[in-house]
Amino acid sequence: MSVFSKVKDTAGGAARSVMESAVGNFEIGQAWAAAARERSVGPYPYLAPVVRRAAQVPEPPLNSTPHQVVYTKGKMRLLRFEPAVRKHKTPILFVYSLINRYYILDFLPGRSLIEFMRDQGFDCYAIDWGIPGEVENHMGWSDMLGGLIQSAVKWTLRTSGASDLTLYGYCMGGTMALAYASLYPEGLRNFVAQATPVDFHEGGIFHTWTRPEYFNVDAMVDAYGSAPIDLMEAGFSMMAPVQRITKWLNVFRQIDDPKFVTTFLAMEKWASDNVPFPGGVYRQYIKDCYQENNFCNGRMVVGGRRVDLGNIACPLLNLIADKDTIAPPASSLVLNELVGSEDKTVMNFPVGHIGLSTSSKGPKMIWPKVAEWMADRSEPMAEA
Protein backbone atom coordinates (compact mmCIF):
# COMPACT_ATOMS: atom_id res chain seq x y z
CA MET A 1 0.00 0.00 0.00
CA SER A 2 1.50 3.32 -1.04
CA VAL A 3 1.82 6.28 1.31
CA PHE A 4 -0.58 8.23 -0.86
CA SER A 5 -3.36 5.62 -0.57
CA LYS A 6 -2.78 5.36 3.22
CA VAL A 7 -3.20 9.11 3.57
CA LYS A 8 -6.27 8.96 1.32
CA ASP A 9 -7.80 6.17 3.44
CA THR A 10 -7.13 8.01 6.71
CA ALA A 11 -8.53 11.26 5.38
CA GLY A 12 -11.53 9.43 3.94
CA GLY A 13 -12.16 7.67 7.27
CA ALA A 14 -11.90 10.93 9.22
CA ALA A 15 -14.23 12.69 6.80
CA ARG A 16 -16.69 9.82 7.05
CA SER A 17 -16.68 9.87 10.86
CA VAL A 18 -17.09 13.66 10.92
CA MET A 19 -19.99 13.30 8.49
CA GLU A 20 -21.58 10.49 10.53
CA SER A 21 -21.15 12.51 13.69
CA ALA A 22 -22.77 15.54 12.07
CA VAL A 23 -25.70 13.45 10.80
CA GLY A 24 -26.11 11.81 14.23
CA ASN A 25 -26.05 15.13 16.03
CA PHE A 26 -28.50 16.57 13.51
CA GLU A 27 -30.88 13.67 14.17
CA ILE A 28 -30.66 14.23 17.92
CA GLY A 29 -31.32 17.94 17.39
CA GLN A 30 -34.33 17.14 15.23
CA ALA A 31 -35.73 14.74 17.86
CA TRP A 32 -35.27 17.38 20.59
CA ALA A 33 -36.96 20.03 18.48
CA ALA A 34 -39.92 17.69 17.87
CA ALA A 35 -40.15 16.91 21.60
CA ALA A 36 -40.04 20.61 22.45
CA ARG A 37 -42.71 21.36 19.83
CA GLU A 38 -44.95 18.74 21.44
CA ARG A 39 -44.12 20.24 24.85
CA SER A 40 -43.06 16.83 26.17
CA VAL A 41 -42.20 16.93 29.85
CA GLY A 42 -40.94 13.36 30.27
CA PRO A 43 -37.26 12.46 29.82
CA TYR A 44 -37.82 9.83 27.09
CA PRO A 45 -38.12 12.05 23.97
CA TYR A 46 -34.97 13.97 24.98
CA LEU A 47 -32.74 11.18 26.27
CA ALA A 48 -33.75 8.26 24.02
CA PRO A 49 -32.16 9.67 20.81
CA VAL A 50 -28.93 10.33 22.72
CA VAL A 51 -28.81 6.81 24.14
CA ARG A 52 -29.75 5.25 20.79
CA ARG A 53 -26.93 7.15 19.09
CA ALA A 54 -24.38 6.37 21.79
CA ALA A 55 -25.27 2.68 21.94
CA GLN A 56 -25.73 2.46 18.15
CA VAL A 57 -29.03 0.61 18.53
CA PRO A 58 -32.13 1.01 16.33
CA GLU A 59 -35.67 1.75 17.48
CA PRO A 60 -36.87 -1.14 19.68
CA PRO A 61 -39.10 -3.56 17.69
CA LEU A 62 -42.18 -3.13 19.87
CA ASN A 63 -45.50 -4.76 19.00
CA SER A 64 -44.03 -6.87 16.21
CA THR A 65 -46.19 -10.03 16.40
CA PRO A 66 -48.13 -10.24 13.11
CA HIS A 67 -51.78 -9.38 13.53
CA GLN A 68 -54.81 -8.22 11.64
CA VAL A 69 -57.64 -5.85 12.52
CA VAL A 70 -60.83 -7.90 12.59
CA TYR A 71 -63.25 -5.34 13.96
CA THR A 72 -63.43 -1.67 14.84
CA LYS A 73 -65.95 0.45 16.63
CA GLY A 74 -65.08 4.12 16.96
CA LYS A 75 -61.44 4.27 18.01
CA MET A 76 -61.45 0.71 19.36
CA ARG A 77 -59.79 -1.97 17.24
CA LEU A 78 -59.98 -5.69 17.77
CA LEU A 79 -56.70 -7.32 16.76
CA ARG A 80 -56.25 -10.98 15.96
CA PHE A 81 -52.96 -12.84 16.52
CA GLU A 82 -53.59 -16.12 14.74
CA PRO A 83 -51.41 -19.12 15.63
CA ALA A 84 -49.71 -21.15 12.92
CA VAL A 85 -51.04 -24.32 14.53
CA ARG A 86 -54.16 -23.85 16.61
CA LYS A 87 -54.37 -26.31 19.47
CA HIS A 88 -57.23 -24.79 21.46
CA LYS A 89 -60.64 -23.92 20.14
CA THR A 90 -61.23 -21.50 23.05
CA PRO A 91 -59.74 -18.13 22.06
CA ILE A 92 -58.23 -15.57 24.46
CA LEU A 93 -59.44 -11.99 24.47
CA PHE A 94 -57.02 -9.56 26.14
CA VAL A 95 -58.61 -6.46 27.67
CA TYR A 96 -56.02 -3.85 28.48
CA SER A 97 -56.29 -0.71 30.57
CA LEU A 98 -57.29 2.68 29.16
CA ILE A 99 -54.01 4.04 30.58
CA ASN A 100 -51.04 3.62 28.20
CA ARG A 101 -51.26 1.30 25.19
CA TYR A 102 -52.13 -2.38 24.88
CA TYR A 103 -48.80 -3.34 23.27
CA ILE A 104 -47.12 -3.88 26.63
CA LEU A 105 -48.74 -7.33 26.15
CA ASP A 106 -46.86 -7.64 22.85
CA PHE A 107 -43.60 -6.16 24.05
CA LEU A 108 -40.46 -7.38 22.25
CA PRO A 109 -39.91 -10.54 20.20
CA GLY A 110 -39.23 -13.36 22.67
CA ARG A 111 -40.64 -11.27 25.51
CA SER A 112 -44.20 -10.86 24.37
CA LEU A 113 -47.08 -12.40 26.32
CA ILE A 114 -49.33 -12.45 23.26
CA GLU A 115 -46.61 -14.00 21.08
CA PHE A 116 -46.04 -16.68 23.75
CA MET A 117 -49.73 -17.58 24.01
CA ARG A 118 -50.05 -17.61 20.22
CA ASP A 119 -47.10 -20.02 20.01
CA GLN A 120 -48.85 -22.26 22.56
CA GLY A 121 -51.63 -22.68 20.01
CA PHE A 122 -54.12 -20.14 21.38
CA ASP A 123 -56.08 -17.94 18.97
CA CYS A 124 -55.35 -14.55 20.57
CA TYR A 125 -57.32 -11.32 20.32
CA ALA A 126 -56.57 -7.96 21.93
CA ILE A 127 -58.58 -4.81 22.30
CA ASP A 128 -56.67 -1.69 21.30
CA TRP A 129 -58.64 1.24 22.69
CA GLY A 130 -56.84 3.63 20.35
CA ILE A 131 -56.38 7.30 21.16
CA PRO A 132 -59.60 8.58 22.64
CA GLY A 133 -60.98 11.83 21.29
CA GLU A 134 -64.01 14.05 21.74
CA VAL A 135 -66.52 11.27 21.07
CA GLU A 136 -64.93 8.89 23.59
CA ASN A 137 -64.84 11.60 26.25
CA HIS A 138 -68.61 11.44 26.44
CA MET A 139 -68.70 7.68 26.84
CA GLY A 140 -69.39 6.00 30.16
CA TRP A 141 -68.80 2.56 31.62
CA SER A 142 -72.02 1.26 30.10
CA ASP A 143 -70.75 2.23 26.61
CA MET A 144 -67.42 0.56 27.30
CA LEU A 145 -68.87 -2.67 28.65
CA GLY A 146 -72.17 -3.07 26.81
CA GLY A 147 -70.89 -1.41 23.64
CA LEU A 148 -67.21 -2.01 23.06
CA ILE A 149 -66.23 -5.06 25.13
CA GLN A 150 -69.46 -6.89 24.27
CA SER A 151 -68.86 -6.26 20.54
CA ALA A 152 -65.26 -7.43 20.92
CA VAL A 153 -66.44 -10.64 22.62
CA LYS A 154 -69.03 -11.21 19.89
CA TRP A 155 -66.53 -10.70 17.08
CA THR A 156 -63.89 -12.81 18.79
CA LEU A 157 -66.33 -15.72 19.01
CA ARG A 158 -67.54 -15.18 15.45
CA THR A 159 -64.05 -14.94 13.94
CA SER A 160 -62.62 -17.84 15.91
CA GLY A 161 -65.64 -20.08 15.42
CA ALA A 162 -65.81 -20.82 19.16
CA SER A 163 -68.81 -20.73 21.46
CA ASP A 164 -66.96 -19.32 24.48
CA LEU A 165 -63.65 -17.62 25.32
CA THR A 166 -61.10 -16.85 27.98
CA LEU A 167 -61.33 -13.20 29.05
CA TYR A 168 -57.89 -11.93 30.07
CA GLY A 169 -57.93 -8.58 31.87
CA TYR A 170 -54.85 -6.62 32.80
CA CYS A 171 -54.62 -3.77 35.32
CA MET A 172 -57.59 -1.41 34.95
CA GLY A 173 -58.59 -3.50 31.92
CA GLY A 174 -59.04 -6.34 34.42
CA THR A 175 -61.36 -4.18 36.51
CA MET A 176 -63.45 -3.38 33.43
CA ALA A 177 -63.40 -7.01 32.30
CA LEU A 178 -64.57 -8.11 35.76
CA ALA A 179 -67.44 -5.63 35.61
CA TYR A 180 -68.26 -6.95 32.13
CA ALA A 181 -68.15 -10.58 33.31
CA SER A 182 -70.51 -9.83 36.18
CA LEU A 183 -73.01 -8.10 33.88
CA TYR A 184 -72.66 -10.30 30.78
CA PRO A 185 -71.43 -13.74 31.90
CA GLU A 186 -72.63 -15.45 28.70
CA GLY A 187 -69.89 -16.76 26.41
CA LEU A 188 -67.18 -16.70 29.08
CA ARG A 189 -65.41 -19.98 29.72
CA ASN A 190 -62.48 -18.73 31.86
CA PHE A 191 -61.33 -15.47 33.41
CA VAL A 192 -57.73 -14.39 33.99
CA ALA A 193 -57.18 -11.25 36.10
CA GLN A 194 -53.59 -10.01 35.85
CA ALA A 195 -52.48 -7.33 38.34
CA THR A 196 -56.07 -6.19 38.66
CA PRO A 197 -57.07 -3.75 41.42
CA VAL A 198 -60.34 -4.80 43.08
CA ASP A 199 -60.31 -3.37 46.60
CA PHE A 200 -59.32 0.20 45.78
CA HIS A 201 -58.92 1.27 49.39
CA GLU A 202 -55.90 -1.04 49.38
CA GLY A 203 -54.71 0.72 46.22
CA GLY A 204 -51.60 2.28 47.76
CA ILE A 205 -50.53 5.80 46.93
CA PHE A 206 -53.19 6.26 44.21
CA HIS A 207 -55.91 5.83 46.81
CA THR A 208 -54.31 8.61 48.89
CA TRP A 209 -53.87 10.99 45.96
CA THR A 210 -57.39 10.56 44.65
CA ARG A 211 -59.14 11.22 47.97
CA PRO A 212 -61.96 13.75 47.39
CA GLU A 213 -60.35 16.37 49.65
CA TYR A 214 -57.22 16.41 47.45
CA PHE A 215 -58.49 15.71 43.98
CA ASN A 216 -61.53 17.23 42.28
CA VAL A 217 -62.11 14.88 39.35
CA ASP A 218 -65.12 16.85 38.11
CA ALA A 219 -63.09 20.06 37.72
CA MET A 220 -60.46 18.19 35.71
CA VAL A 221 -62.86 16.42 33.37
CA ASP A 222 -64.84 19.65 32.87
CA ALA A 223 -61.64 21.51 31.96
CA TYR A 224 -60.00 18.92 29.71
CA GLY A 225 -62.83 16.58 28.71
CA SER A 226 -60.44 13.75 29.56
CA ALA A 227 -57.64 12.91 31.94
CA PRO A 228 -54.78 14.61 30.05
CA ILE A 229 -51.54 12.85 29.23
CA ASP A 230 -49.29 15.31 31.09
CA LEU A 231 -51.22 14.98 34.31
CA MET A 232 -51.30 11.20 34.13
CA GLU A 233 -47.58 11.17 33.43
CA ALA A 234 -46.92 13.58 36.29
CA GLY A 235 -48.90 11.27 38.57
CA PHE A 236 -46.84 8.24 37.62
CA SER A 237 -43.61 10.26 37.95
CA MET A 238 -44.54 11.38 41.45
CA MET A 239 -44.42 7.73 42.53
CA ALA A 240 -40.63 7.78 42.08
CA PRO A 241 -39.60 11.23 40.85
CA VAL A 242 -35.86 10.90 41.46
CA GLN A 243 -35.54 7.41 39.98
CA ARG A 244 -37.35 8.64 36.90
CA ILE A 245 -34.18 10.49 35.93
CA THR A 246 -31.49 8.50 37.71
CA LYS A 247 -32.49 5.19 36.08
CA TRP A 248 -31.07 6.65 32.85
CA LEU A 249 -27.67 6.83 34.54
CA ASN A 250 -27.82 3.06 34.97
CA VAL A 251 -28.28 2.77 31.19
CA PHE A 252 -25.22 4.97 30.66
CA ARG A 253 -23.24 2.44 32.69
CA GLN A 254 -24.47 -0.39 30.46
CA ILE A 255 -24.28 1.48 27.18
CA ASP A 256 -22.17 -1.32 25.66
CA ASP A 257 -24.91 -3.91 26.20
CA PRO A 258 -27.26 -3.48 23.20
CA LYS A 259 -29.81 -6.00 24.53
CA PHE A 260 -30.13 -4.17 27.84
CA VAL A 261 -30.34 -0.78 26.12
CA THR A 262 -33.01 -2.02 23.66
CA THR A 263 -35.17 -3.50 26.44
CA PHE A 264 -34.80 -0.34 28.52
CA LEU A 265 -35.69 1.93 25.60
CA ALA A 266 -38.66 -0.28 24.70
CA MET A 267 -39.99 -0.05 28.23
CA GLU A 268 -39.49 3.71 28.40
CA LYS A 269 -41.07 4.20 25.00
CA TRP A 270 -44.17 2.34 26.11
CA ALA A 271 -44.25 4.20 29.43
CA SER A 272 -44.06 7.54 27.63
CA ASP A 273 -46.72 6.57 25.09
CA ASN A 274 -49.61 7.74 27.24
CA VAL A 275 -53.08 8.35 25.90
CA PRO A 276 -55.73 10.61 27.38
CA PHE A 277 -58.22 8.73 29.56
CA PRO A 278 -61.80 9.28 28.31
CA GLY A 279 -63.41 11.79 30.68
CA GLY A 280 -66.73 10.09 31.40
CA VAL A 281 -65.14 6.73 32.15
CA TYR A 282 -62.43 8.36 34.28
CA ARG A 283 -64.95 10.32 36.35
CA GLN A 284 -66.86 7.17 37.30
CA TYR A 285 -63.64 5.16 37.76
CA ILE A 286 -62.20 7.64 40.28
CA LYS A 287 -65.46 8.15 42.15
CA ASP A 288 -66.81 4.58 42.22
CA CYS A 289 -63.51 2.79 42.57
CA TYR A 290 -60.89 4.94 44.31
CA GLN A 291 -63.01 7.40 46.28
CA GLU A 292 -66.02 5.31 47.36
CA ASN A 293 -64.72 1.76 46.81
CA ASN A 294 -68.07 0.76 45.34
CA PHE A 295 -66.59 -1.75 42.91
CA CYS A 296 -65.72 -4.47 45.40
CA ASN A 297 -68.69 -3.75 47.65
CA GLY A 298 -71.28 -4.44 44.96
CA ARG A 299 -72.47 -0.82 44.91
CA MET A 300 -71.17 0.25 41.50
CA VAL A 301 -73.96 0.79 39.00
CA VAL A 302 -73.33 0.56 35.25
CA GLY A 303 -76.16 1.22 32.81
CA GLY A 304 -78.71 0.90 35.61
CA ARG A 305 -77.39 -2.51 36.67
CA ARG A 306 -75.41 -3.31 39.80
CA VAL A 307 -71.95 -4.80 39.33
CA ASP A 308 -71.97 -7.93 41.49
CA LEU A 309 -68.75 -9.93 41.25
CA GLY A 310 -70.65 -12.89 42.74
CA ASN A 311 -72.25 -13.34 39.30
CA ILE A 312 -68.91 -14.54 37.93
CA ALA A 313 -69.09 -18.32 38.00
CA CYS A 314 -66.48 -19.36 35.44
CA PRO A 315 -62.98 -20.63 36.46
CA LEU A 316 -60.82 -17.74 37.68
CA LEU A 317 -57.06 -17.26 37.66
CA ASN A 318 -55.84 -14.32 39.73
CA LEU A 319 -52.27 -13.31 38.81
CA ILE A 320 -50.53 -11.20 41.41
CA ALA A 321 -47.20 -9.38 41.25
CA ASP A 322 -45.66 -9.34 44.73
CA LYS A 323 -43.86 -6.01 44.14
CA ASP A 324 -46.83 -4.27 42.55
CA THR A 325 -47.31 -0.67 43.69
CA ILE A 326 -50.11 0.16 41.22
CA ALA A 327 -52.34 -2.80 42.07
CA PRO A 328 -50.83 -3.96 45.39
CA PRO A 329 -51.39 -7.66 46.23
CA ALA A 330 -53.86 -6.78 49.00
CA SER A 331 -55.97 -4.94 46.46
CA SER A 332 -56.18 -7.94 44.08
CA LEU A 333 -56.30 -10.90 46.49
CA VAL A 334 -59.81 -10.09 47.69
CA LEU A 335 -61.19 -11.02 44.24
CA ASN A 336 -61.13 -14.74 45.01
CA GLU A 337 -63.45 -14.19 47.96
CA LEU A 338 -65.91 -12.13 45.93
CA VAL A 339 -66.53 -14.21 42.81
CA GLY A 340 -69.04 -17.03 42.66
CA SER A 341 -66.63 -19.40 40.87
CA GLU A 342 -65.83 -22.77 42.39
CA ASP A 343 -62.59 -23.17 40.41
CA LYS A 344 -60.38 -20.33 41.70
CA THR A 345 -56.59 -20.11 41.53
CA VAL A 346 -54.14 -17.49 42.77
CA MET A 347 -50.61 -17.31 41.38
CA ASN A 348 -48.01 -14.99 42.92
CA PHE A 349 -44.78 -14.00 41.20
CA PRO A 350 -41.82 -12.00 42.57
CA VAL A 351 -42.07 -9.19 39.99
CA GLY A 352 -43.57 -5.71 39.67
CA HIS A 353 -46.78 -4.56 37.98
CA ILE A 354 -45.31 -4.43 34.48
CA GLY A 355 -42.94 -7.33 35.11
CA LEU A 356 -45.80 -9.82 34.73
CA SER A 357 -45.88 -8.89 31.04
CA THR A 358 -42.31 -7.90 30.25
CA SER A 359 -39.94 -9.48 32.73
CA SER A 360 -37.33 -11.95 31.51
CA LYS A 361 -39.01 -14.32 34.03
CA GLY A 362 -42.15 -14.17 31.87
CA PRO A 363 -41.41 -16.74 29.18
CA LYS A 364 -39.48 -18.98 31.60
CA MET A 365 -41.43 -18.87 34.83
CA ILE A 366 -44.75 -17.00 34.59
CA TRP A 367 -46.40 -17.52 31.20
CA PRO A 368 -45.93 -21.33 30.95
CA LYS A 369 -47.95 -21.72 34.16
CA VAL A 370 -50.66 -19.37 32.91
CA ALA A 371 -50.79 -21.15 29.54
CA GLU A 372 -51.06 -24.52 31.28
CA TRP A 373 -53.93 -23.27 33.46
CA MET A 374 -55.78 -21.98 30.41
CA ALA A 375 -55.04 -25.07 28.30
CA ASP A 376 -56.51 -27.34 31.00
CA ARG A 377 -59.72 -25.34 30.90
CA SER A 378 -59.98 -24.71 27.15
CA GLU A 379 -61.77 -26.75 24.55
CA PRO A 380 -59.18 -28.59 22.45
CA MET A 381 -59.21 -28.13 18.70
CA ALA A 382 -60.98 -31.01 16.96
CA GLU A 383 -58.76 -33.13 14.70
CA ALA A 384 -59.26 -32.23 11.03
Catalytic (active-site) positions: 171, 324, 353
Residue nearer to another protein on the CB measure, 155 or 191: 155
**Of 109, 133, 310, 368, which one interacts with another protein (CB under 8 A)?**
133
Instruction: Characterize the bridge pairing of strands 188-194 and 316-321.
Output: parallel
Closest alpha carbon to 357 in 276, 282, 266, 236: 266
- Cβ-count burial 106-133 (b if 16+ within 10 Å, e if not): bbbeebbbbbbbbbbbbbbbbbbbbebe
What is d(CA 64, CA 67) in angstroms, rounded to the nearest whole number?
Answer: 9
Q: Are the CB atoms for 103 and 66 separated by under 8 Å? A: no
Backbone angles phi, psi at 242, to 5 degrees: -75, -45
Please tell me the distance from the alpha carbon of residue 157 to that of residue 143, in angstroms, as a whole number: 20
Indicate the residue among 128 and 288 with the shorter CB distance to another protein.
Answer: 128
Least spacing, CB of residue 222 vs another protein, in Å = 6
Under rule CB under 8 A, residue 260 binds another protein: no
DSSP state of 276: P
Cite the DSSP H helix spans in 131-209.
134-137, 141-142, 150-160, 172-183, 205-209
Task: Answer whether 76's CB lies under 8 Å from 128's CB.
Answer: yes
Of 84-92, 97-105, 178-186, 238-246: span binding another protein (CB under 8 A): 238-246
CB of 349 to another protein, least distance (A): 25
Rounded-to-integer distance, Cα 66 and Cα 81, Å: 6
Q: Nearest approach, Cβ of 281 to another protein (angstroms)? A: 18
**Please, what is the angle between helix 258-272 and helix 241-253, to 10°?**
160
61 is a contact residue toward another protein (CB under 8 A): no
Contact call for residue 219 and another protein (CB under 8 A): yes
Report in angstroms how near the CB of residue 253 gets to another protein at its nearest.
4
Query: What residues numbered 150-209 form the site for another protein, per CB under 8 A?
Result: 158-159, 205, 208-209
Task: List 8's β-bridge partners, or say none.
Answer: none
The CB-of-79 to another protein minimum distance in angstroms stands at: 10
Stretch that binds another protein, among 168-176, 216-224, 265-273, 335-343 (CB under 8 A): 216-224
Indicate the SS3 state at residue 266: helix
Q: Does residue 53 belong to the site contacting another protein (CB under 8 A)?
A: yes
Examine residue 351 and tell whether it contacts another protein (CB under 8 A). Answer: no
Which residues from 1-20 bind another protein, rule CB under 8 A? Answer: 17
The nearest distance, CB 134 to another protein, in angstroms, is: 6
**Among 63-71, 166-174, 293-301, 312-320, the segment contacting another protein (CB under 8 A):** 63-71
Q: Is 30 in the site for another protein (CB under 8 A)?
A: no
Residues that bind another protein (CB under 8 A): 17, 21, 24, 50-51, 53-56, 68-72, 74-75, 77-78, 130-131, 133-134, 158-159, 205, 208-209, 211, 213-216, 219-220, 222-224, 238-243, 246, 249-256
